[in-house]
Amino acid sequence: MQYNGIDIENEYKKNLSDAQDKLASLSVTKEYFSDIRNKNDSLLGFKGLNGWVYEQTIRYCLCEELKKFGKAPNIKEQEQLYGRTKVDLLVGKVAIEIKVSGLYNKSDAEKYRGYSTKAKEKGWYYFYLTQKEGYPPYQIAIKSVLGEENTFFLNAENDWERFVNKVLKHYEEKP
């Protein structure tokens, strides 16, 4: 594999910092970002940016991995699952939910069970990928709902490789 969990985290942090600097340089955001930086010397709390940059990092790294395996990446972002619900990435037949830092609460696991069911109805596989899950009961909850084979924690050794291999396995087939 070209990447591992540490490489991806480093790529994410670098790109997040670049995105923050670029946003802070816009004339329409200078005052806003100046206020944030004066309070905590960081833009890490800027809503939405962290998750979006992480999704883009995963997208980029996955594209690079797929190319190495001779796949022309067929990746769609924010693909409709049902109603207003969307999956972060649709890679061939694999729907991927991406989180920077895991679940917000234990009940989120049940929500993702429903998403997984809807994905199967569309002929997709459903994977959950996060940089880390700091609270062990939440990690247990998501694994029990989606199955260990469909959950990936990039702070775990070899989970990126396992993730890429699972995407490759299911890239074009139907569940």
**What pLDDT does residue 36 have?**
56
Residue 83 inside a domain? The answer is yes
Is the pLDDT at 151 greater than 60? The verdict is yes
Burial status of residue 125 (CB atoms within 10 A of its CB: 0-12, 13-18, 19 or more) = buried
Let me know if residue 22 belongs to a domain. yes
- Per residue in 10-41, pLDDT tens? 999 999 989 888 887 888 877 766 665 554 44
pLDDT digits (tens, 9 = 90+) for 50-65: 899 999 999 999 999 9
The DSSP output letter for 174 is -
175 found inside a domain: no
Q: Which domain holds residue 162?
A: 5-170
pLDDT tens string 68-105: 999 888 899 999 999 999 999 999 999 999 999 999 88
**40 lies in a domain?**
yes
Residues 59-73: b if buried by 16+ CB within 10 A, e if exposed: bbbbeebbeeeebee
State how many domains the chain has: 1
